[in-house]
A and B are shown apart, each in its own frame.
Chain A
Amino acid sequence: QQPVQSPQAVILREGEDAVINCSSSKALYSVHWYRQKHGEAPVFLMILLKGGEQMRHEKISASFNEKKQQSSLYLTASQLSYSGTYFCGTEKSSGNTPLVFGKGTRLSVIA
């Protein structure tokens, strides 16, 4: 079951904040966040585990609401380098199962 991401796209000025959401209709074990720049492979940002804590990568943080089956990625004081497409990948059970990815959120940060 593919998770649903919102918004599809967002444009920010440097220094502004943004939130990207990822939701699933199924119970989740973990949510993984990636950023992909044009022409490059997806880069792992962070993982949110069921029962785990809110995570942080530089000025980017994320939370995981198990009851709502939803994760949110918070980009604070955005920088030009934050531009790219953000994907959430979800996992229904623990162990060695592959991630299912949402359609992505295209983030553009302008000066």
Chain B
Amino acid sequence: SAVISQKPSRDICQRGTSLTIQCQVDSQVTMMFWYRQQPGQSLTLIATANQGSEATYESGFVIDKFPISRPNLTFSTLTVSNMSPEDSSIYLCSVKGGGVNEQFFGPGTRLTVL
């Protein structure tokens, strides 16, 4: 299985600021996704990070709020912009591909917005 790392692992931010989360995979993968998990809740897909093109966002998530980059097959970033306390969540990078159908998760970034 792919080894996925995320930076930062946690952060406390002030309202109105932005945070960029990095996701690095140790091997090339076909697909990279970003999920959000609010406290005590399930995993909600934010977007699919597409290499070399704009990300595909799910209903309720927009590019201005959650810009995503994917410059190559092993790296992606998610920015949470103009943060409010409602953005306090765990943000998870997830990957699929490389010949297998399983989907794996990174360790997550725990974000608290004050």
Instruction: Name A residues whose Cβ lies closer than 8 Å to a Cβ of B.
Output: 2, 30, 32, 34, 40-44, 47, 49, 87, 89, 94, 96, 98-104
Interface residues of B, CB < 8 Å — how many? 22
A41 touching B92, Cβ below 8 Å: yes
Would you call B94 and A96 a contact (CB within 8 A)? Answer: no
Across-interface contacts of B92 in A (CB, < 8 A): 41-42
Q: Which residues of B contact A41 (CB under 8 A)?
A: 92, 105-108
Q: How far is the CB of B49 from chain A (nearest CB, A)?
A: 10
In the A-B complex, list the 10 residue pairs whose CB atoms are closest, starting with the nearest.
A96-B31, A101-B43, A41-B105, A98-B33, A103-B42, A41-B108, A101-B42, A96-B30, A41-B107, A42-B105
With A41-B108, A42-B43 known to touch, is A98 a contact of B101 (CB < 8 Å)? no
Which of B1, B30, B101, B104 is within 8 Å of A30, CB to CB?
B101
Interface centre among B1, B97, B105 (most CB of A within 10 A): B105
Interfacial residues, chain B to chain A (CB-CB below 8 A): 1, 30-31, 33, 41-45, 48, 92, 94, 96-97, 101-108
Chain A residue numbers with a CB within 8 Å of B48 are 98
State A96–B1 Cα separation when bound (angstroms).
16
